[in-house]
Amino acid sequence: MAIRKAMVAGNWKMNGSLELVKQMSDAINDVKSQEMDIVLFPPFPLVPAMVASGVSTGAQTVSENTPGAFTGEVDAQLIKDLGATYVLVGHSERRSIYNESNATVAEKFARAQQVGLTPILCVGESESEQENGQTEQVVAAQIDAVIEKLGVAALKDSVIAYEPVWAIGTGKTASPEQAQTVHKFIRDKIASLDSNLAQGLTILYGGSVNEKNSELLFAQTDIDGGLIGGASLKAESFTAICNSAKGTV
């Protein structure tokens, strides 16, 4: 079995400040470990400050286009030039609020990789899709859009984050067993195309992860860490989650 490095990523969404960058970077620098990667995703204007703080930094989204007349969009090369190394693509809020399709997400994934950014591909089902037993179908389609555009090999230089939409910001969390089942499905699906790639692929869980439930979630065989929302805005909570991820894989 390939050794996978644990990762904890914090998505600040439309929150944060220069003061919070300082608070969080100070806290993270105290818990950094060779055993894991810690990445923060602040709003675009805070990316340079986060990079300067020494914390691995990502952007919350990216344009699928090359530079041009796209008011309000941000190009992947600029994100890279500012020192960020990761970018989220396909977060459920981008899919639901901004109507990003699986095809659009695949284009964003491709553009990120084109300039050397590491995309974190977010996948997950809605509450109604879960209740109708469509979880695997929905997640598979979201991953297949990338594979069909770029080939399975493109997943080698990426991370996948499983985030059940019904658990994001709701306080509801998939049980460790529920989350493990979907993570295993994702890994097995990719293994059917490339077993070595699948064993080395980092797959995160996101959805109301906090310092109380992170240890049990991260103890699951196929869960390699977490994509954290609200708890990534609180130094004490986020560092506790980071500590629970050390040595999980």
- Which of these is catalytic: 93, 107, 163, 211? 163
230 is in an annotated binding site: yes
- Which of these is catalytic: 91, 100, 183, 211? 91
Question: Quick check: is 177 catalytic?
Answer: no
12 is in an annotated binding site: yes
Return the axis-axis angle of helices 18-31 and 235-245, rounded to nearest 10°.
Answer: 30
Structure tokens at 70: 């796209």
208 is in an annotated binding site: yes
Query: Looking at this protein, which amino acid is placed at residue 229?
Result: G
72 is in an annotated binding site: no
Angle 107-105-98 from CA coordinates, rounded to 5°? 125
Specify whether the CB–CB gap between 140 and 187 falls below 8 A.
no
Q: CB neighbours of 32 closer than 8 A, spacing ≥ 6? A: 38
Question: Quick check: is 183 catalytic?
Answer: no
- Is residue 189 packed enough to be buried (19+ CB in 10 Å), middle (13-18) or exposed (0-12)? middle
Q: Spell out where 124-238 has E strands.
A: 159-162, 203-206, 225-228
184 is in an annotated binding site: no
Binding-site residues = 11-13, 169, 208, 229-230
Query: Which residues are catalytically annotated?
Result: 91, 163
- Residues making up the annotated binding site for substrate are 11-13, 169, 208, 229-230
